[in-house]
């Protein structure tokens, strides 16, 4: 038996704001949308155009409070070939929430407070 990664899910309060964040800051684009007629939820899958892995954003119509992220120890990680250019973009957009210069990495946070680790491509 063999398992492969498919996607990770995060729940979001403002779907349009989150879509804009992931497109502007990470270049992710919508690959699929599930929007049942009853309107209770919308699921949007985002992809990087290079790998099969997807980020699933789930918006729940009746959810109004911020999601409890606990200690925010879990996170996504994204690789980039140009750390300097990425850092400049994220600094300009005001989304950097933590830097570890000794390790050569930093984190950005999305509109719901989820952390995304930015690491150099190996």
| Contact between residue 83 and residue 65 where contact means Cβ atoms under 8 Å apart | no
CA distance 103 to 113: 22
pLDDT for 10-56, tens place per residue?
999 999 999 999 999 999 999 999 999 999 999 999 999 999 999 99
**pLDDT band for position 92 (50/70/90)?**
very high
Per-residue model confidence (pLDDT) at position 70: 84
Closest CA to 110 of 50, 63, 38, 55: 55
Query: Which domains can be identified in the chain, with CATH numbers?
Result: 7-63+75-120 (3.10.180.10)
Identify the bridge partners of residue 12 per DSSP, sorted by sequence position.
59
Question: CB–CB of 54/9 below 8 Å?
Answer: no
Q: Which of 28-32, 63-67, 68-72, 114-118 has the lowest mean pLDDT?
A: 68-72
74 pLDDT band, cuts 50/70/90, is confident
* pLDDT computed for residue 88 by the predictor: 98
Greatest Cα-to-Cα distance within the chain, rounded to the nearest angstrom: 50
Predicted confidence at residue 2, as pLDDT, reads 86
pLDDT given for residue 3 in this prediction:
84
User: Which positions are catalytic?
Assistant: 117
Percent of the chain scoring above 70 in pLDDT: 100
Handedness of CA 103, 109, 115, 116 (dihedral sign): negative
- Over 80: is that where the pLDDT of 72 sits? no
């Amino acid at each position: 038996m063999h398992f492969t990664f498919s996607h990770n899910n995060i729940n979001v309060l403002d779907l349009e704001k989150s879509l804009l964040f992931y497109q502007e800051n990470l270049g992710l684009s919508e690959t699929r949308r599930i929007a049942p007629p009853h309107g209770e939820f919308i699921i949007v899958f985002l992809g990087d155009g290079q790998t099969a892995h997807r980020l699933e954003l789930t918006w729940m119509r009746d959810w109004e409070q911020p999601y409890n992220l606990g200690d925010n120890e879990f996170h996504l990680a994204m690789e980039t070939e140009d750390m300097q250019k990425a850092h400049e973009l994220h600094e300009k957009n005001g989304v950097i929430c933590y830097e570890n210069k000794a390790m050569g990495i930093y984190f950005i946070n999305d509109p719901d407070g989820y952390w995304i680790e930015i690491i150099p491509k190996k």
